[in-house]
A = this chain, B = another copy of it.
Amino acid sequence: MGRKVILMKFKLLKTDSGCGARRGRLETAHGVIETPMFMPVGTQGSVKSVSPDELEALDTRIILGNTYHLYLRPGAERIERFGGLHRFIHWDRAILTDSGGYQVFSLAPMRKIEEQGVHFQSHIDGSRHFIRPEDAVRIQQQLGSDIAMCFDECTPYPISRDYAEASAERTVRWAQRCKAAHQRTDQALFGIVQGGVFPELRRRCLEQLQAIGFDGYAVGSLAVGEPKAEMLRVLNQLVPAMPAAAPRYLMGVGTPEDLVAGVAAGIDLFDCVMPTRNARNGMLFTAAGHLQIKNRCHADDPRPIEEGCTCYTCARFSRGYLRHLFMARELLAYRLNTLHNLHYYLNLMGDIRAALDQDQFADWTREFHARRGSGDGGEQGAAS
């Protein structure tokens, strides 16, 4: 097997003087990604309710696809026959695929872990499947994402130290097998650090993954129910030990406040269903917190969701109309809400990058919290 030529390159542009925050640039076969960056979730080959053109207009640089969903439907071989996921979904910018591990553990009605892999049942039709780390890599190679993830076990919270240790060690052995199975030179492969809320397990897992060597490193099994302070403690203990030269990805996180905290801890990439899922539930993000569009107070309000917001929705539609669409369950409601929330998230990351560029991240962060108030809400998870 020849030496792999990974097209992905990560350039660390700057590290903040006051915290772990970094400005970076990720070059992929499908475009440049300025970091810190948020990745909208396109679970089944579509960021729910929005078109590829709309994602581009939002300056989305990278989206996430869920391997578990795409493997089950329409199938990775089928997508490969269409020329890969980019061509299948008409998206020419970057794609990261998760490994499917999270969904196997969160969505499948039955699952059984063995050293070789995981038996599970499809949540769609109950069909039985067995996925090994090598299969997860093969599937992601068929999908042709720009960044593939190692197959891992996403552990719950709370978790015993013994289980977290055994699971993290297996995840490392699986990562070794993923690395050995990975062939595509135009696709990066990231390792996923596990170990629950136990710092020494996290650090040991990270060291073992680094010994194998990956193009980037992700933090898994956070935002799975643990208190916010616990998540931040894990991040602040783990992230500084992660290799500075590689991109760092915090999986499935989170609220705007979580993103700001994650950046401060030194994270470069985020994904979360929160902006899209909450949009479909009528929860809209603003600089001042969030609003529930279904509330009666919006019925006669001619103002946009957020004064001064430059998103497609705010430039055209009133809260009153958006409330009407939502109450009437008009399909347009889900799209207009999603466009606003994605704009909020992507714009937030742009503001963070600008603050880092100008050495004003600490000031920016204070102002961000002062404006947001206690606004924080809604569910989160790794599939839209």
* A interface list, Cβ under 8 A from B: 44-46, 48-52, 69, 73-74, 78, 81-82, 88-90, 299-300, 302, 316-318, 320-321, 323-325, 327-328, 330-332, 334-336
Contact = CB atoms under 8 A, between A and B. Distances in A.
A83 to B, nearest CB: 8
A318 B49 contact: no
A90 B316 contact: yes
Given A88-B320, A316-B90, A318-B82, A73 B332 contact: no
7 contacts: A46-B325, A46-B331, A51-B336, A69-B328, A74-B320, A74-B324, A82-B300
Contact of A88 (B73, B321, B335): B321
B46 A82 contact: no
A73 B335 contact: no
A331 B49 contact: yes
B335 A299 contact: no
Given A82-B318, A317-B90, A324 B45 contact: yes
Contact of A44 (B49, B69, B81, B328): B328
A46 B330 contact: yes
Contacts of A74: 299, 320, 323-324, 327
A321 B45 CA distance: 9
A304 B176 CA distance: 42
Contacts of A45: 321, 324-325, 328, 330
A332 B88 contact: no
Contacts of A323: 74
Contacts of A51: 332, 335-336
A82 B321 contact: yes
A65 to B, nearest CB: 12
Contacts of A321: 45, 82, 88-90
Given A89-B321, A331-B334, A299 B44 contact: no
Contact of A330 (B48, B78, B299): B48
A212 B51 CA distance: 50
A82 to B, nearest CB: 6
Contacts of A327: 73-74
A73 B330 contact: no
